[in-house]
Structure formats: structure tokens, C-alpha cells
Amino acid sequence: MYELIQVSELCYYVQCPAKIGVVRTEENNVVLIDSGNDKNAGKKALKILEQRHWRLQAVFNTHSHADHIGGNRFLQERTGCKIYAPGIERDFTCHPVLEPTFLYGGCPPSELRHKFLMAQESDALPLTPDALPDGMSVIPLPGHSFDMVGFRAKDNVVFLADCLSSRETLEKYRVSFLTDVKSYLETLERVINMDAAMFIPSHAEATADIRALAQYNRDTVHQIADDILNICREPLNFESILQRLFAEYGLVMNFEQYALVGSTARSYLTWLKECGRLRAFFENNALLWVCA
């Protein structure tokens, strides 16, 4: 863990729970793609850079989830590097309490105010084309998070952030977090047709051929949608749907899983409704969902 792995002349990644990308922009200058899940991850990443006498210029965040921005504050305070984040992800990075608030749908209880869902604040700047090193480009990858992006480096290595989960993760937990199912499926279609010298997903193995894994993620989304439709053969409120979904996948309910899986389930309900496959109506002051 926290081993530096080289994948091309200019690109590396730090092997850790959410991979940290490293791109050399000049002989001794580097930028990071994400910063790990906490201060300790930031410390370990910086130690790797210092051992090679590399100077950190900037951190480019793919999105604002805590396991990707957790090292921001430490790195910024220690090195003075700039932090960049795309779109609405910048607001969540500057004000991390927005993440558990969004997930819970209201003022989050203390059980959701921890480092896995709420990183320390960091002073992030908007990610604009002029902030990028020469030869690096942004790849929009929305769906898992609002304005998530990936990056393509000068030597054609693509950092894919969280737009893919490993087969092992999907087989174990089944439901991967999504904010927008429609956008996520469009992102997967884009990835399936993408070419690169090497792909580096944050939570799956680096590979030169990403198509099979992207297709498996897409198939999983459609299977979850079918399972929700099967649950909704009779009118049910959201809590009943979520309870049955947990039972279907052998998940254990706690505050964190309620927030993460619950938010994702609501995103599926919205998508299925917009597709005309589910119908929502109110009865006895309850919102009910049923197959259309």
C-alpha cells in the first residue's frame, strides 16, 4: 500500500484505497490527481514525492468525495500547492459539510460527520483549461458525482476517477454510489468507446483495455434497475423499497449505508420515472412508487 507505480514515461499512481495519480510536468515538477482519503494519505504521498526530489505544483481533484480530497488540506498547508476542482465539486471541496447534507437530505447527524464522508476544508480554485499543464486535458465523467472529471495526460494515460467499480466490489456490495443514473450510463458509453495507452480507475486495476469492465458496470446498473422494478410490482413507499433492496443484496443498514445506498436508490427511482418505467403518486399523504 502507498507504493508508487509507473505506467508511462510521465505518469504514475500511488497504490492506495483511492489511487492518487502522479504526472510529471517537468523534470522535477509534478501534479497530483486527487489526494487520498485523509491527512495521512497526503503525508504518505508527499513523502513519496520528496524521496524523488519532486516538487508538487498542484492537486487536480476529479470530484469532491472525501476519499479523493482528504489529503488536500495537508498538502496545501505543507507545500503551498494550488488545488483545483471542477464545477459544483469545487463548492463541496471548499465546504465539505455539503456532502453528508446532500446524502442525508437535511442536517446530517453526527454518524455522518466523519472523515469518510466529510473531508477537511481546502481552498480550491475552479478547474479551467488554463490551469492544466501542457498536454493535459479534462474528460467529463458525470454520474457518480455531479461534475466528476477524468484527465488525459500528454502521453495518453487516462485517469478515470470513480466512473468504474471493480468486479469484486460490485459482486460484494452490488450498489455503487450514483447521483444521476442517466448521466452515468452516458459516461460508461463514452468510456467503452475510449482509447488510451493505459486507463487508471481509482477503485479498479489499471489496464490497457477498459471495455469489459465498463460493460460489466453498465450491465450491473440495468440489473439493479430491473430489481427495483421487480420490488415495485406493488405500490411502495421509499423506505419499504430500500428495505427490500437491502434484503435482496444482503446489505446491513446503518447511517452510512442508509445515506449512500438510499441516495443512490432515489436516483434510480428518478431515472426509472423519467424513462416511463415507474409511476409515482401520493396516497394518504405518502409518496408511493409502482411499475408503470
DSSP string over 230-282: HHTTS-B-HHHHHHHHHHHHT----HHHHHHHHHHHHHHHHHHHHTTSEEEEE
φ and ψ of 252, to 5 deg: -110, 125
User: pTM to 2 decimals?
Assistant: 0.97
Fold annotation for 223-291: Arc Repressor Mutant, subunit A (1.10.10)
Distance CA 134, CA 152 (A): 11
CATH 3.60.15.10, the chain: domain bounds:
3-222
Nearest Cα residue to 262 out of 87, 119, 100? 100
Query: What is the CB neighbour count within 10 angstroms for residue 3?
Result: 9
Q: What is the pLDDT along the chain (292 residues), one digit of tens a residue?
A: 899 999 999 999 999 999 999 999 988 999 999 999 999 999 999 999 999 999 999 999 999 999 999 999 999 999 999 999 999 999 999 999 999 999 999 999 999 999 999 999 999 999 999 999 999 999 999 999 999 999 999 999 999 999 999 999 999 999 999 999 999 999 999 999 999 999 999 999 999 999 999 999 999 999 999 999 999 999 999 999 999 999 999 999 999 999 999 999 999 999 999 999 999 999 999 999 999 9
CATH 1.10.10.10, the chain: domain bounds:
223-291
Query: For the structural domain made of 3-222, what CATH number should be given?
Result: 3.60.15.10
